[in-house]
Each structure stands twice: as structure tokens, then as C-alpha cells.
Structure 1
Amino acid sequence: MGNSLAKAVFSFKTNILNPKLNRLHQKAKKTSKNLNLEEYNFHKRQELIAHALKHSEFYKKKYANSDVIINGINSQKDFLKIPPLSRTELRDNYENIAIHNLKKNQVEKVSTSGSTGKPVTLLHDKRHPETPIRWRILDWWGIKPWENQAFIYRFKKPALQRFINALMWWPTKRIFLAAANPTKEHLEKFVLDFNSIKPALLQGYVDVVFEFALYLLDNNIKIHPPKMVWVTSAPLFEEQRELMQKAFGAPVCDQYGNTEIMLIAAECPKQKGLHIMQDTVHIEFVDEQNQPVAPNTTGRILLTDLTNYAFPLIRYDIGDEGRFMDEMCSCGKQLPLMENVRGRQAHNIQTPSGLRIKGEHLMAMFNGHMKCFKEIQLRQQEDFSVCIDFVPRIPKESCVNIKKIAKLLEQRSRLEIKIETKRVEKIQQVGRKTPLIVSNLK
């Protein structure tokens, strides 16, 4: 009865009170199933570039000496001639990139956390919300938007915001855990509420969801299994996934997104890679000349948001690395696949000779040694030395494995850098994230 009421109220809200959101949802479903996505994607890029050239002072100047102005974008070859947008350009040109003939209620100003350098500020286009894409992903996992949901965030939301959220979603129930420094009472209440409302979805940052999973495992606490656990904001170790699935009794869905473009790619239940939202974003994996690399080859990621007409992002070099997969998923979806993103280009360990050890390689090296830690972080100092901070879960095993990890890193660095280990109570947070690598190199 409760679920039927929630469905009826949700349908009323979307069909009557917010029909635009429902139309966008239905359009997104139709586009991903029936259209030639490559043609649709290219057409949307053409429209976006024409819009940027007409309304953005930054792009008018940036493309002034480019064939884009003269001949337009008539082929993929033409598109590849467009110079990428760097993170520095984005940070230094907010006013000139932004489209200014929009109403305040059509845009939302957001800033990145600064976990990979200085924060950048941009606008989200509220005329094209990410909600329909979120519903699409949930639908893959058999989760309906009106079903109860649970969230783990770092910090407690203001009381007014919590009240508005509860009112907006009624009678659907949504519970929240602020995981920055939860007390035993907070954790016990969250478990009690969780088992009471039996949420279909649990969502949160990788590290805080993982910490909650360890709390359940270490205290032998059982919760009602959700249909899926959705983790965000950091690379996911496979050992973390394994422990979370054991704690929650549910599959863990990895996804790729960021502040700039919220939902780029996500796993379906087959979990053979991330499905790229090709109807809303264009993603490239490129070499040093900004040209495409072959499938299954790692390249720098360039992003073009096909829905943001308030703050165009065209071939944006976000600082991540990844790779296309040269196969389609057996689930039958026409959305192409990419591998799970394991690290950021800006996140690496460097040696005095110039060797760079990428975050994705470190994750591969450390897999097999992570189950005894709650958290781990590598801090590189100005003299190239590295301190590996760790929060143990199983003290005796963590001491053994941290030495193995240090040895692996020492060998991988060709013995060029000094490696130390340090047991800590909490890993250093940068902005709202806890990155694997924190570098103080200049």
C-alpha cells in the first residue's frame, strides 16, 4: 500500500507539477533506444558549438583563428581540430565562458572541491537536469524513483534543507547519515532507520560508504539488502567493492561523473564496464596531440557536455585518464562502454628522474592488500619522499600489508624515492574528497 501511494504521488508530481522533467525522462529513454546515437551525438555537438560561437565571448576569441569559424563542423575530422579547453582556461575565464542572457532560475553556480588543484567555478544548466539520467541508471537496476532511498554524506545537511527534502519526496522516505565523525548512537539510529524503511538504494561517496560497510562487518550487524549500492567521487578498489557487497548483501554500482558533468557513465547489472551516456555527453580518449587513441588504450579524457547551454564545455581536459572498450555489453543497451576510471592524470607519484607512477597503476599494485585497511593515502613531499598514511581495520594484518605496499612502491619507483609508513586516525581530506595521492611537489 505504501509503495502504491508513493508511486501515485510521484506520478502526480512529475506529470502534473513538473511535466518538463517527465518529458525529458521519456525523451532520454526513447533517444537511447531508438536513435542512431553516433549521429545524434555529432548533431548535438554541432548545435552546441554554433551556440557557443554566437553567445560566448571566450569561444569567439578561442576559435578566432580556427577553421571552426570559417567552415563549421561538418565531420568528426573537423571536430578533432578544435583546441581543447584546459582546466586553467576554465578557472580563469568564468565570466567570458558563461552565457549571460539567461534567467537566474535557469542556472546554478557550482564549484569543484579543489582536490586536484585550485577549485573551478561554472554554471549548471537547470533547463537540462541530470535527474532523467539518474532515473535511467536506477531503472537498469530495477529501482523506481519513488522507492525509499538511503544516503551517506560527509556532513549533516542544514535542518531547513532536510525539511524541504522530506516534504518534496513525501511519502517516499529518504534517510541520511553524516559520516564525518558519526557517534555510535548516530550509526545505530541509521541502521534502525535503514531496516525500518528498507531502502531500494544506498548511495554515497566511496570512502564513507566503505567505512559504514566495515562498521557493519566488524560488528556483525545485518541490514535489509538494498537493490543496489551506488558509490561516487573516487576510484573504487575491487577489494572495497567485495567487502561492501558482503556487508550490504547487494551489488555495488560504480559510476563516472564530476562536478562539471554530473553523470557521464555508469555500470549496469552486468558490470562489464561503464555505459557512456552518449546522448548527453561526448567523451574522447586522446594522445598528446589530442587525437583519438585506439580502443583498450589509455588516453587523456576530453569531455563535451551536450546539454549545458549556460556554460559550454567543449573538449574539456578534466585531468582524468581512461579508455574505450571495443565491445558492446551483453545487456543489449546501445550505449558504448568505457573502463572504470582508476585515477586522475594529475594524481601520480613522481621520481627525481621524471618517472610518473599513475594512480590507476597504484590501485592495481595494491589490490590484494587492501582488506585490512579502512583508508590509505600517499603523501609525496617536496624532496620526492612518500609517506603512506593508513587507518587500520585489522591491526596485525595491516602492519604486515603496509610494509608490502611500501616495498611494491619502492620497487616501482626504481628505488629513487624514500618510502615511509604512518598509522593515523584519519586520512587527510582535500575539499570534500579524500584522494589516494596528495602531492606537495612544486
Structure 2
Amino acid sequence: MKNSFLKAVFSFKTKIVNPKLEGLRRSTAANLQVEDLTELNLRKRQDLLKHALTQSPFYQKKYKGLDFLKKGVIRNEDFTKLPPLTRSELRENFGSIQADNISKSDYRKATTSGSTGSPISVLHDRRHPETPIRWRILNWWSVQPWENQAFIYRYQRPLLKRLKNNLLWWPTQRIFLAAADLNEKKLNKFVRDFNRIKPTLLQGYVDVVFEFALYLLDNNIKIHPPKMVWVTSAPLFEEQRELMEKAFGAPVCDQYGNTEILLIAAECPEQNGLHIMQDTVHIEFVDQDNQPVAPNTTGKILLTDLTNYAFPLIRYEIGDEGKYLDHTCSCGRPLPLMENVRGRQTVNIKTPSGLRIRGEHLMAMFNGYMKVFKEIQLQQEGDFSVCIAYVPRTANEGQKEAEKMANLLMQRARSEIVVTAKRVDQIERTTTKTPLIISHLN
């Protein structure tokens, strides 16, 4: 009865406050019923490119001289000839990338955390919000948008924003835990609120959700199990997933997204890779010449946002690495699969001879040691030496495991670099994110 009331109020408010949202939801749902998603994806790329060539001064200049664009409708093989958009180009050409034919009400500005360099800004197209894709993912896990939800993020939202959020979602209840200055009083209050409203969703950054899970396990605290736990903003170690699922009594959903394009791919309950949102984003895995790599092969990620007409992002080289998976998911959904993103191609451990050790290799190497840590971080200095900084779960744990990890990394680096382990009280953060690797190499 209560759930029916919440659904009725939610549906009524959505129609009044944001009537376009229901239409977008229906359209997004219909996309998965089309006969050929690949054809739909290509058609959307063609439309976006045509728009960029007429409305974005940056792309008019960048693509000048590409004769195949004069044909009007490009083929998929032509699309791969377009030069990628680099992060430096995005940073230096913000004003000219923006489309000429938009008004201020059509977009909102978003800025990256700068975890891998200087922050960059983009515009998100308000006419095509990510909400319907979020609802799609939640629906896979039987979570409805009108059900109570809980969130753990780094910093507390401003009071005005919290009040506005409460009003917008009433009578649905949402609770938030700010993890920047956690203490036992805050944690216990969050536990009480959690058990009171019984949220079906717990969402937050990987590291802070993991820290909350460890608090529950270490203190033998039980909470009402949600239907899913949704983690974002950092690579997810499988041992972290295992401990979180034990603490929360619920499956953990990994996803891939970023400030520039919020929802790119996410796991379904089969947890057999991430489903790519092929109807709203085009993702490519390419080699150093920006040509496609074979399935199951790691490559640079290029992203094209098929819904952002305010600030076109076409073949955007974000700096991540990943791979297509050549199998289909047993869930039956037509969306293709990619592997969980394990790190950024631009931030690796490097040796004087040029050997590059990627984040995905580090995660595989350290699998089996993570249960004794709250957090770890690899910090590489200008002389190529690496310090594995770690925060142990308890005072008597971590040193032996960290030293083994240091030896493994030194062997992987062919003994070209010195690797040490150091216990710390807090890991170095970049605004809201906690990078796995921080490099001070020039």
C-alpha cells in the first residue's frame, strides 16, 4: 500500500515538475526494442556530426579538409578517420566547442575533479538528462526511483541543496552520509536512519562505501539489506566487492562513468561485465594510431556522447583504458559488454627503461591482499621510486601484506625501481576522488 502511494505521488510530481522526463523514459525504453542497436547508434552519430559541423566552430575548424565529410552521410569506417578530441583541446577550446544555437536554459556546466591533471569543464545538455538511463539501470536490479535511497559521498551538500532535494523527492526519503570527517556518532546515526527508512539503494564512491562496510563488519553491526549497492568513481577490487556484499547483504553494482559523460556502462545482476549504453553513447577501444583493437584486447577509450548537442564530445580521448568483451550476457539484454575499467592509460607506474605497468595489472597483482586494508595508494616520485601508502583495517594488520605487494611490484618492474611500503593515517585525495596512482614524474 505504501509503495503504491509513493509511486502515485512520484508519477504525479514527475508529470507536473518535469513532464518531458516521462517521454524521455519511454523513448529510452523503446531504444532497447529496436531491431538493430548498432544501426541506431550509427544514425545518432551521423546526426550529431552534422550538428557539430554546422553549430560548433571548433569542429568546423578541426574537421576542415576531411573530404569524406562532404558526402553528407558518413559510414562507420569514415567515423574512425575523425581525429580524436584530446583533453588538452577540450581544456583550451571550451568556448568554441559549445554549440552556437543553444540558450542558457539548455545546459549546465560541470567541472572534473582534476585527479589526473588540471580540471576541465564541459556543458551537460539539460534537454537530454541522464535520469532515464539511471532508471534503466536501477530497474535491472528491481529498484524503483520512488523507493527510499541512501548515499555516501565525500562532502556534505549545502543546506539549501539538501532542502531542495528533500522537497523534490518527498515523500520518498533520502539520507546522506558525508565521509570527509567521519566519526562514530555520524556513522551510528546513519545506521539508525538506514534501518529506519530501509532504502532499496545504497550509492556512493567506492572508497567511502567500502569504509562504511568495514565499519559494519568490524563492529558486527547489521543493517537492513538494500536491493543493490551502486559504487562509482574508482576501480573496484574484487575483494572490496566481496567484503561489501558481506557487510550489506546485497549485490554490488559496478559502473563506468565520468564528469564528461555521466553514465556509460553498468553491470546487471549477472555481473558478467558492464553493459554499454549503446543508444546514448558510442565507445571505441583503439590502439596508439586510434584504430579499433580486437575484442578482449585492452585499448584506449574514445567516447562520443550521442545526446549532448549543447557541447558535442566526438571521439573524446578521456585517458582511460578498457576492452570490449566478445560474449553476450545471459540476461538477454541487447546492450554489448565491456570489461570493468581498471585504470587510466595516462596514469601508470613507469620505469627508467620505459616499462609501463597499468592499473589493471596492479589490481590483478594485488588481488588476495586487499582484505586487510581500508585503502591503498601508489605514489611514484620523480626518481621513479614508488611508495605503497596504506591504511590498515586494524593496528596489527597490513605491514606484511604491503611488503609482499612491494616485492611483487619490484619484480614486475624488473628491479628497475625501488618500491617501499608505508603505513599512513590518510590517503592523498584529489578533491572528491582517491586515485589509485599518483605520479610526480615529469
TM range, smaller chain: over 0.9
Answer yes or no: is 1:168 the counterpart of 2:164: no
Q: How far is 1:68 from its partner?
A: 4.4
SS in 2 for 1:124: strand
Within a 5 Å distance, the mapping from 1:117-156 to structure 2 comes to: 117-156=117-156
SS in 2 for 1:195: helix
The 1-side partners of 2:83 and 2:160 are apart by 44
SS in 2 for 1:3: helix
Q: How far is 1:183 from its partner?
A: 1.7
The 1-side partners of 2:372 and 2:268 are apart by 29
The 1-side partners of 2:370 and 2:344 are apart by 20
Deviating more after overlay: 366-375 vs 91-100 = 91-100
Deviating more after overlay: 126-135 vs 96-105 = 96-105
* Aligned-partner residue type, residue 381 of structure 2: Q
Q: How far is 1:101 from its partner?
A: 2.8
Kept after mapping to 1: 8 A contact 2:150/2:174: yes
The 2-side partners of 1:214 and 1:32 are apart by 38
Q: How far is 1:421 from its partner?
A: 1.4
Residue 266 of structure 1 is matched in structure 2 by 266
Gaps of 5+ in 1: none
Q: How far is 1:70 from its partner?
A: 2.1
Residue 107 of structure 2 is matched in structure 1 by 107
Residue 255 of structure 2 is matched in structure 1 by 255
Q: How far is 1:73 from its partner?
A: 4.1
Instruction: Go from structure 1 to structure 2 and tell me whether the alpha carbon gap of 1:151 and 1:55 turns closer, same or farther (over 3 Å shift).
Output: same
SS in 1 for 2:33: helix
The 2-side partners of 1:82 and 1:99 are apart by 19
Residue 210 of structure 2 is matched in structure 1 by 210
Kept after mapping to 2: 8 A contact 1:140/1:269: yes
The 1-side partners of 2:371 and 2:17 are apart by 47
The 2-side partners of 1:159 and 1:186 are apart by 17
The 2-side partners of 1:229 and 1:146 are apart by 17
Residue 348 of structure 2 is matched in structure 1 by 348
Q: How far is 1:16 from its partner?
A: 3.6
Within a 5 Å distance, the mapping from 1:24-103 to structure 2 comes to: 24-103=24-103
Residue deviations 1:198-231 (CA, integer Å, cap 9, x gap): 0000000000000000000000000000000000
* Aligned-partner residue type, residue 213 of structure 2: A
SS in 2 for 1:202: strand
Kept after mapping to 2: 8 A contact 1:382/1:441: yes
Deviating more after overlay: 406-415 vs 61-70 = 61-70
Gaps of 5+ in 2: none
Residue 436 of structure 1 is matched in structure 2 by 436
**Number of corresponding residues:** 442
Residue 383 of structure 2 is matched in structure 1 by 383
The 2-side partners of 1:30 and 1:274 are apart by 20
* Aligned-partner residue type, residue 32 of structure 2: S
Residue deviations 1:310-351 (CA, integer Å, cap 9, x gap): 000000000001000111111010000001000110120000
Instruction: Go from structure 1 to structure 2 and tell me whether the alpha carbon gap of 1:296 and 1:22 turns closer, same or farther (over 3 Å shift).
Output: same
Residue 398 of structure 1 is matched in structure 2 by 398
The 2-side partners of 1:97 and 1:15 are apart by 33
The 1-side partners of 2:118 and 2:156 are apart by 25
The 2-side partners of 1:144 and 1:56 are apart by 38
SS in 2 for 1:303: strand
Within a 5 Å distance, the mapping from 1:158-307 to structure 2 comes to: 158-307=158-307
* Aligned-partner residue type, residue 383 of structure 1: D
Residue deviations 1:387-438 (CA, integer Å, cap 9, x gap): 1110001343411100100000110110011112111111000121000000
Q: TM-score, normalised by structure 2?
A: 0.99
* Aligned-partner residue type, residue 137 of structure 1: I
* Aligned-partner residue type, residue 11 of structure 1: S
Deviating more after overlay: 199-208 vs 91-100 = 91-100
Residue deviations 1:59-105 (CA, integer Å, cap 9, x gap): 00000011244223431111111111011100110001011332212
* Aligned-partner residue type, residue 401 of structure 1: E
Kept after mapping to 2: 8 A contact 1:73/1:79: no
* Aligned-partner residue type, residue 398 of structure 2: S
Instruction: Go from structure 1 to structure 2 and tell me whether the alpha carbon gap of 1:161 and 1:68 turns closer, same or farther (over 3 Å shift).
Output: farther
Residue 369 of structure 1 is matched in structure 2 by 369
Instruction: Go from structure 1 to structure 2 and tell me whether the alpha carbon gap of 1:35 and 1:14 turns closer, same or farther (over 3 Å shift).
Output: farther
Q: TM-score, normalised by structure 1?
A: 0.99
Residue 321 of structure 1 is matched in structure 2 by 321
* Aligned-partner residue type, residue 101 of structure 1: N
Deviating more after overlay: 76-85 vs 253-262 = 76-85
The Cα RMSD (Å) is: 0.9
* Aligned-partner residue type, residue 135 of structure 1: W
Deviating more after overlay: 395-404 vs 358-367 = 395-404
SS in 2 for 1:15: helix
Kept after mapping to 2: 8 A contact 1:54/1:60: yes
Answer yes or no: is 1:333 the counterpart of 2:333: yes
The 1-side partners of 2:108 and 2:68 are apart by 29
Kept after mapping to 2: 8 A contact 1:372/1:395: no
Kept after mapping to 2: 8 A contact 1:204/1:230: yes
Residue deviations 1:90-145 (CA, integer Å, cap 9, x gap): 01100010113322121001110000111111100000000000000000000000
Q: How far is 1:288 from its partner?
A: 1.2
The 2-side partners of 1:150 and 1:40 are apart by 35
Kept after mapping to 2: 8 A contact 1:391/1:426: yes
Kept after mapping to 2: 8 A contact 1:68/1:82: no
* Aligned-partner residue type, residue 334 of structure 2: Q
The 2-side partners of 1:435 and 1:164 are apart by 31
* Aligned-partner residue type, residue 239 of structure 1: E
* Aligned-partner residue type, residue 184 of structure 1: E
* Aligned-partner residue type, residue 287 of structure 1: D
Kept after mapping to 1: 8 A contact 2:68/2:74: no
SS in 2 for 1:182: coil
